C-alpha cells in the first residue's frame, strides 16, 4: 500500500511523516491489494480558535474494489491521527464483513436452488 501525505497549515516534519507511516502500516493486514493508495491529509482546521488549535486528520483509501474515507478532529495532531486510524480500521472491517455476508447469502441461495432442482428431478 502506498501512502501519500499532505500537510495543511502546518509544516510536514519527519516525525509526523514517520508517525503516520507507523500508524497506517497496520492497515496493510486489512487491505491486501498492492495497488491500493492511501491519501492522508493532516493539518490545522483554523488559524485561531476560542478553545485552542484544532487539528484534523483525514484518510482516503482507494484501490481495486476499495473506496474508504475517514476524518477526525482533535486538540492534538497525534490524537487526531490515532482516531482516524481507528475509524478507518473500523470501516475496513465493516466492508470485509459485508462482503463475507453477501457471499455467504449468495452461496446459500444457490444451494437452496440446487436442492429445489433436485427435488423436482426426482418427482418428475
Q: Which phi-psi region, left, alpha or beta, contains residue 96 (left: φ > 0; alpha: ψ -120 to 50)?
A: alpha
8 A C-beta contact, residue 57 and residue 83: yes
CATH number at residue 29: 3.30.160.100
Determine the pLDDT at residue 124. Answer: 47
Q: Total domain count for the chain?
A: 1
What DSSP assignment string belongs to 80-123? HHHHHHHHHHHHHHHHHHHHHHHHHHHHHHHHHHHHHHHHHHHH
Cα separation of 105 and 112, whole Å? 11
Determine the pLDDT at residue 114. Answer: 78
> Buried b / exposed e across 65-82, counting CB within 10 Å, b at 16+?
ebebebebebeebbebbb
Determine the pLDDT at residue 81. Answer: 96
Cα separation of 101 and 123, whole Å? 33
Determine the pLDDT at residue 93. Answer: 86
Determine the pLDDT at residue 96. Answer: 79
Q: Please, what's the largest Cα pairwise distance for the chain?
A: 79
Residue range(s) defining the domain that contains residue 115: 2-123
Helix (H) or strand (E) segment spanning residue 62: strand 55-63
Determine the pLDDT at residue 119. Answer: 54
Per-residue tens of pLDDT for the chain, all 124 residues: 899 999 998 999 999 999 999 999 888 888 877 788 999 999 998 777 677 888 999 999 998 778 999 999 999 999 999 999 999 999 988 887 777 887 778 777 787 777 776 655 555 4
Determine the pLDDT at residue 17. Answer: 96
Amino acid at each position: 500500500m502506498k501512502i501519500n501525505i499532505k500537510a495543511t497549515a502546518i509544516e510536514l516534519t519527519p516525525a509526523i511523516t514517520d508517525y503516520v507511516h507507523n500508524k497506517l502500516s497496520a492497515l496493510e493486514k486489512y487491505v491486501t491489494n498492492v495497488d491500493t493508495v492511501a491519501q492522508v491529509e493532516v493539518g490545522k482546521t483554523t488559524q485561531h480558535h476560542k478553545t485552542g488549535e484544532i487539528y484534523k486528520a483525514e484518510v482516503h483509501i482507494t484501490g481495486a474494489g476499495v473506496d474508504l474515507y475517514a476524518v477526525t478532529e482533535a486538540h492534538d495532531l497525534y490524537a487526531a491521527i490515532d482516531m482516524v486510524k481507528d475509524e478507518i480500521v473500523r470501516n475496513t472491517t465493516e466492508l470485509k464483513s459485508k462482503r463475507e455476508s453477501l457471499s455467504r447469502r449468495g452461496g446459500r441461495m444457490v444451494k437452496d436452488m440446487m436442492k429445489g432442482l433436485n427435488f423436482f428431478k426426482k418427482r418428475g
